[in-house]
Amino acid sequence: MGHAADSCSRTAVVNYQEVLVDASSSNRGEGLRYYLQRDPVAKKLLNEYQQNNRPRWQGAALSTLGTATVLAGFLRSNEGKNETFTGRNTLVFGGLTMIAVSYLISRTNQYNNEWLLQRAIEEHNKRNTPRIYFSADPDSSNSTGFGMGMQKEF
């Protein structure tokens, strides 16, 4: 399943009804704004979450530079392939590395940003009703936020 499908299908439970968390892939968490805006702390955290989810020019620049470097490597002739910085293989692998690093940084930031949304929901639930139940883990079938654990000691 693609990333866009994941972000559009995230739901929270409010008053025993499912609510879309992400009204659109460009404004994640917007589906909860109606509830979270009642609490100033939760609203501030939601705004910070959405601000951090916006694409950054640095990531786009690194990906573009990586793509240009790969293209330069493919367009480079085979002569001089042993040159350290401008050799064909160096340019291709360097460009691919830049693209991979940009992707990993973007995904890591996005993953680490999810705690802000979770915290906004927790702040709302401390002082407001109805309670919002949401699990930020997309792989979890526990979308209501309830869980149960068992431990046995010998």
Whether 147 is in a domain gets the answer no
Cβ atoms of 76 and 85 closer than 8 Å: no
Amino acid 27: pLDDT: 84
Higher pLDDT, 97 or 24: 97
Q: How confident is the model at residue 149 (pLDDT cuts 50, 70, 90)?
A: very low
Residue 71 corresponds to which tokens in the numbers above?
């293209």
CA angle (145 as vertex; 12, 15 as ends), nearest 5: 45
150 phi, psi to nearest 5 deg = -130, 145
Q: How confident is the model at residue 26 (pLDDT cuts 50, 70, 90)?
A: confident
Spatial separation of the C-alpha atoms in residues 14 and 46, rounded to whole Å: 17
Spatial separation of the C-alpha atoms in residues 5 and 14, rounded to whole Å: 22
List pLDDT tens digits, range 34-86. 999 999 999 999 999 999 988 889 999 999 999 999 999 988 877 655 676 77
Spatial separation of the C-alpha atoms in residues 43 and 39, rounded to whole Å: 6
Residue 130 corresponds to which tokens in the numbers above?
């109805």
List pLDDT tens digits, range 132-147. 999 876 555 444 444 3
Amino acid 76: pLDDT: 84
pLDDT at 150 over 50: no
Whether 61 is in a domain gets the answer yes
Amino acid 141: pLDDT: 46
pLDDT at 16 over 70: yes
Whether 154 is in a domain gets the answer no
Amino acid 147: pLDDT: 39
pLDDT at 19 over 80: yes
Whether 142 is in a domain gets the answer no
Average pLDDT, the chain: 82
Spatial separation of the C-alpha atoms in residues 65 and 58, rounded to whole Å: 10
In angstroms, the Cα distances linking 49 to 35, 119, 131 are 15, 10, 20
Q: 24 Cβ partners below 8 Å, 6+ apart?
A: 8, 30
Instruction: Tell me how many domains the chain contains.
Output: 1
Distance of CA 111 to the CA centre of its chain: 5
Residue 55 domain boundaries: 3-133
